[in-house]
Structure 1
Amino acid sequence: MAEDAKSPPQGTESLPKACQVASPGQGVTGKAMEMGDMAAHSMSDMGEPQMASMKAMQEMNRTMRATHGIKDPDLAFVCGMIAHHRGAVAMSKIELQSGKDDQAKTWAKKIIEDQEKEIAEFEAWANKRGQ
């Protein structure tokens, strides 16, 4: 019971339970973290769509870093792909809100459709794996 009350490792909060249990949390630090910090410093001259895209990318990277420590390579792959696909969906939604080009918007819609389907498949697989 005490295990159930335990918070998920940092960076895995939005991932399926199997990913949370297998992950030690924020794995990569150092250069990867510095790159995120450098990007944050240059955000002052960005518009709203760029800020939203940067935020989506940072969240995706945070969650993906948390999956790098998962020892089971299959589970690590699936959990990392969930984070990666969610980032693609978030960036595609920003394109739909802010973009002007019809082709780019068509691609964004297709990405959302395809990747949300794959996210559901990955989550089902991870949930089954965690049983």
Structure 2
Amino acid sequence: MRKTLLAGGLAVVSALVLSACSSSDHPSMSGMGSSSSVPAPAPSQPAAGHNADDIAFAQQMIPHHSQALDMAKLVPSRGANPKVVDLAGRIEKAQDPEIQQMRGWLSTWGATSTSSMPGMTHESMPGMGTSSMPGMMSDADMRKLEQAKGAEFDKMWLEMMVKHHEGAVEMAKTELTKGSNADAKALAQKIIDAQQAEITEMRGLLSQG
């Protein structure tokens, strides 16, 4: 009698164990099925889009920066003040990477970099003369600067670069107000901070001379 009860009990226990295993398996299977139906996450997208003002900012700031580089490259062979030479080197080091950054944006946005257009000069760019790019030097200004030497060159260069920087700051402030791309606005703020500080430095050098 005891053997019969024991056998019966073992059968019940076995049935319960099998039932438990079976019920624990199914949820995991159903979970696997449901997880396989969840769409894969989309690839990461740029943090923000862009608008026409972002494009205009990059298209105009590239030639603006390029002229600053042209001016900076004149200093080592013409300037007399080591502080001016040092400042010119810092301007060149800072603005050249920014030009490459903005060219990359324009390429990503499917827009043309005006500085890469054949036969296009600073003064001949449609809609991008000195009125729309404040602080730009004319060709005559640049020729005059190229002909100067020594202390005369340093003074002329500082005066022109102050004006040039003021124009860049104005353009950058417009981007902060009207632009929508986060990276472009961050660069605009960086330009404002750096060039305002350099304007103060250049005015100090002018006051000493």
Tell me the TM-score normalised to structure 1 length: 0.51
* Distance apart, 1:102 and its partner CA: 0.4
Aligned equivalents of 1:107, 1:35: Cα separation in 2:
22
**In structure 2, distance between residues paired with 1:82 and 1:70:** 17
Which of 57, 60, 76 aligns to 2:136? It is: 60
In the alignment, the residues of structure 1 paired with residue 158 and residue 122 of structure 2 have an alpha-carbon distance, to the nearest angstrom, of 24
Q: Which runs of 5+ in 2 are unaligned?
A: 1-120
Contact 2:134 2:171 in 1 (8 A): no
Instruction: Percent identity, please.
Output: 31
Cα distance change of structure 1 residues 101 and 82 upon mapping to structure 2, 3 Å threshold: same
Measured on the aligned residues, the alpha-carbon RMSD in Å equals 3.1
**Deviations 1:78-97 (CA, angstroms, capped at 9, x unpaired):** 12211221121111011111
Equivalence for 1:82: 162
Answer yes or no: is the 8 Å Cα contact 2:135–2:164 preserved in 1: no
In structure 1, the residue matched to 2:208 is 128
Unaligned runs of 5+ in 1: 1-33, 44-50
- Whole-Å Cα distance in 2 between the matches of residues 61 and 87 of structure 1? 10
Give the match for residue 104 of structure 1: 184
Q: Distance in 1 between matches of 2:181 and 2:122?
A: 30
Aligned to 2:94: none
The question of whether the paired residues in 1 share the 8 Å contact of 2:134 and 2:168 is answered with: no
Q: Which has the larger radius of gyration?
A: 2
Deviations 1:24-58 (A, max 9, x none): xxxxxxxxxx964x55xx44xxxxxxx8x962525
Letter in 1 for 2:196: E
Q: Residue 35 and residue 100 in structure 1: after superposition, are their counterparts in 2 closer, same or farther (change >3 A)?
A: closer
Output the amino acid matched with 2:159.
C
Q: 2:153 aligns with which of 69, 73, 77?
A: 73
Give the direction of change, closer, same or farther, for the CA distance of 1:86–1:101 in structure 2 (3 Å limit): same
What whole-Å deviation, never above 9, does each CA across 1:51-85 have from its counterpart, x for those lacking one? Answer: 8x9625254335x9287376512112212211221
Higher relative contact order (CA 8 A, sep 6+): 1
Contact 2:134 2:170 in 1 (8 A): no
Greater mean alpha carbon deviation, residues 114-123 or residues 72-81: 72-81
Report the more deviating stretch, 76-85 or 92-101: 76-85
Alpha-carbon contact 1:56-1:87 (below 8 Å) kept? no
- Normalised to the residue count of structure 2, the TM-score between the two structures is 0.34
1:119 lines up with 2:199 in the alignment: yes
Say if 2:136 and 2:164, in contact at 8 Å, map to a contact too. yes
Provide the secondary structure at the position in 2 that maps to 1:75.
helix
